[in-house]
Amino acid sequence: MAKISACIISYNEEKKIEDCLKSLLPIADEIIIVDSLSSDDTLKIARKYTDKVFHQKFLGHIEQKNLAVEKASHDWVISLDCDERLTDELQQSILAIKNQLDETDSDAYCMARKTFYIYRWLNHCWYPDVKTRLFNKNTAHWGGTNPHDRIIPDGNNIVKLNGDIQHYSFDTLSAHLQTIDKFTEIGADELIKKNKKVSIFSPFSHGIWIFIKIYFLKRGFLDGFAGILVAMLSFMHVFLKYSKVIVKRKANENRNS
């Protein structure tokens, strides 16, 4: 039977990390945690489940997750965030293929992610939010654009498993707003670093599109008031990200003039 390393990055996640770790116990042969210098009880809780806890000042979501993968002892890796956990069905799906992992021709495995947003499960807005999370570290790595990281395998044979990752995202509207501010800052810097073309119309066009996609195409209206909140705040997220690019570039032009 192949062995699986579970890789997690953490920072002040004392409220959520334990349920994440418990859900990994039935399928993981080791747990790797790279912590960004937490100041709460995250490390105390983590050490109840593993002695492989590493300290690293935050390098970026992609960089931090790749560092965790590098520290894995086994070729096959499952990667979760602290606010995620495996359902019983997903655990069984992974156990069912574990014997064949070393002989499989699959490049990676993906699964649906279902989000609990403040007070209810989202059945439409962000579902099924399919994520590739089980992969061979020799043929796949974390990539994408910070903070929206994703697994990039060498091949295209990605098999979907039954069961969900349960994602306990935001506990309050304030928490969502704080994340929007933080992530749009990171996202804007990444767009500037890649020299992406952004016009004064970009905040509107990209923002309106994400609202239409979530609320109408994904039928977010069936998620009730939570669906309205998610669609509106997703519009705000995209609008602010592109607006920050414009503002940062204009500020830089003024400094250099």
Across residues 199-221, what is the average pLDDT?
98
Same structural domain, 90 and 147: yes
Say whether both 111 and 220 belong to one domain.
Answer: no
The predicted-structure confidence for 143-173, as pLDDT tens digits, reads as follows 999 999 999 999 999 999 999 999 999 999 9
58/68 Cα distance (integer angstroms): 12
Task: Convert 28-63 into a string of H (helix), E (strand) and C (coil).
Answer: CCEEEEEECCCCCCHHHHHCCCCCCEEECCCCCHHH
Q: Give the tokens for residue 69.
A: 């993968």
Choose the final residue of a domain: 168, 186, 220: 168
For the chain, give the percent of residues with pLDDT over 90: 97
Q: Which of 120, 240, 133, 136 is nearest to 189 (CA)?
A: 240
Tell me whether residue 172 is exposed, middle or buried, using C-beta atoms within 10 angstroms of its C-beta: 0 to 12, 13 to 18, 19 or more. Answer: exposed
Q: 157 with 197, same domain?
A: no
pLDDT band of 1, cuts 50, 70, 90 = confident
SS3 121: strand
CB-CB contact of 176 with 170 (8 Å) = yes
The predicted-structure confidence for 70-83, as pLDDT tens digits, reads as follows 999 999 999 999 99
Q: Which of 168, 203, 236 is the last residue of a domain?
A: 168
- End-to-end CA gap in the chain: 64
Mean pLDDT of 214-233: 98
pTM comes to 0.94
Residue 126 confidence (pLDDT) above 90 = yes
pLDDT range class, residue 224, cuts 50, 70, 90: very high
Which residue range forms the structural domain that includes residue 230?
173-256
65 and 164 share a domain?
yes
pLDDT at 256 over 90: no
Asked which of 141, 168, 195 is the last residue of a domain, the reply is 168
- Domain count across the chain: 2
| 149 and 205 inside one domain | no
* Residues 33-46, mean pLDDT to the nearest whole number: 98
Same domain, residue pair 24 and 111: yes
- Which residues touch 253 (CB under 8 Å, ≥6 apart)? none
- Residues 163 and 234 grouped into a single domain: no
Residues 88 and 190 occupy one common structural domain: no
